Amino acid sequence: LERDILERIDTAENEAALEDARIASLGKKGVVSERLKGLGKMTPEERQVAGPALNGLKARITEKIEARRSILKEKALTERLKSETIDVTLPARPEQRGTIHPTTQVWQEVIAIFADMGFSVAEGPHIENDWYNFGALNIPPEHPARQEMDTFYLKPKEDGSRMVLRTHTSPVQIRTMENETPPIRIIAPGRTFRSDSDRTHTPMFHQIEGLVIDETTHMGHLKGTLEAFCKAFFEVDDVKMRFRPSHFPFTEPSMEVDIGCHWEGGELKIGEGDDWLEILGSGMVHPNVIRAGGLDPEKYQGFAFGMGLDRIAMLKYGIPDLRAFFEADLRWLRHYGFAS
Ligand code: PHE
């Protein structure tokens, strides 16, 4: 009996098997326990012999179980350590890093280019009153430009006036003239809003305004500045540009600027070619606007321009749909190389 029990303990492969062996011998109904129960029915003489023998057996079994248990524990630990070692030769899982959104990248690039030309950055609020967004910019109440702008209006205030989400960055022209004395040389990048949405329009978009005011700045400076900008931004040595007469209430004369481009193997090439793409509106600041900014139009003059930031990002990176810019689709960002 003893040999069988001890052997079973010795060959137990794991702690569960060892526990089974313990129950089979020392458990409530185990063979040794059953025999110990039998002691009661024995004569005192028999008991004197069998009692110590059984208790000795019980003690040896208990000892054996403990010994086996520590061996099994050791074994389990060794195995765990073996399986849990770090395989330093395994290639690291690719890390997913956030990146700068194309609009933000272009925003920063444009600031850097104009900073090199001596411009500083100005800002204005997204919510404007009628005066800054329209009136001061020579757009009187009944002017058709108000309808064309697809303006988002806020709820009327008690006095009946309505604030607007600025439809362009031009209000920053006025705010800057109010706060600075010429010479003024600023750009104002920021969010703008119009109730419009298709492949090339989104209700929220970005513009960059430029304003130069001093006593002598003329249209030649405007052309030179924009040409220098386009060469730097589109990274071309020469850029074909077209200054097209246009109309804005806040500039006189006004010009829209197109850049030459062409398609080559499904790719849009900027700088040369027979196609034209409009990239900005510009002109000499209207005397009324200079006056609205608190400056004397007899003394001061200058130019202004307004460019669609998202628009020039589309051109630079060959992105056909503007709406995708604001959908936060990682697949799209990765496709254009803006995310890893
Ligand atoms: N504010 C004009 C627009 O949003 C652009 C512009 C700015 C034109 C400055 C001329 C001068 O379309």
Per-residue confidence in pLDDT tens, the chain, 340 aa:
888 888 888 888 888 889 998 999 988 888 888 888 888 888 888 888 888 888 888 999 999 999 999 999 998 888 888 888 888 888 888 887 777 888 888 999 999 999 999 999 999 999 999 999 999 999 988 887 777 678 999 999 999 889 999 999 999 999 999 999 999 999 999 999 999 888 778 899 999 999 999 999 999 999 999 999 999 999 988 889 999 999 999 999 999 999 888 888 877 788 788 888 889 999 999 999 999 999 999 999 999 999 999 888 888 888 877 888 888 888 888 887 776 6
Q: Cβ(282) to ligand 1 under 6 A?
A: yes
Q: Please, is 279 exposed, middle or buried when counting C-beta atoms within 10 Å of its C-beta (0-12, 13-18, 19+)? A: buried
Q: Cβ(173) to ligand 1 under 6 A?
A: no
Peptide bond into 102 cis (omega under 30): no
Cα of 164 from ligand 1 centre, angstroms:
17
- Could you tell me the two tokens for 316? 């630079």
Which atom in ligand 1 lies closest to the alpha carbon of residue 280?
5
Q: Cβ(303) to ligand 1 under 6 A?
A: no
Strands (E) in the chain, as ranges, are: 120-121, 127-128, 164-165, 184-193, 204-214, 241-248, 251-264, 267-270, 275-285, 301-308
For ligand 1, atom 10, name the residue with the nearest CA.
282
Q: Cβ(304) to ligand 1 under 6 A?
A: yes
Cα of 100 from ligand 1 centre, angstroms:
27
pLDDT one-digit tens code per residue, 311-334:
888 888 888 778 888 888 888 888
Q: Please, is 125 exposed, middle or buried when counting C-beta atoms within 10 Å of its C-beta (0-12, 13-18, 19+)? A: middle
User: Ligand 1: which of 149, 170, 217 to mutate, judged by most atoms within 8 Å of the beta carbon?
Assistant: 170
- Could you tell me the two tokens for 92? 């690291």
Q: How many helices (H) and strands (E) does the chain have?
A: 12, 10
pTM for the predicted model, two decimal places: 0.72
ipTM surpasses 0.85: yes
Q: Contact 202/323 with Cβ under 8 angstroms? A: yes
The conformation of residue 136, written as its DSSP 8-state character, comes to: G
For ligand 1, atom 7, name the residue with the nearest CA.
306
Q: Is 252 labelled as part of a ligand binding site?
A: yes
- Could you tell me the two tokens for 213? 């005011």
Q: Cβ(193) to ligand 1 under 6 A?
A: no
For ligand 1, atom 5, name the residue with the nearest CA.
306
Which atom in ligand 1 lies closest to the alpha carbon of residue 137?
1
Which atom in ligand 1 lies closest to the alpha carbon of residue 306?
7
In sequence order, the 6+-apart residues with CB closer than 8 A to the CB of 56 are none
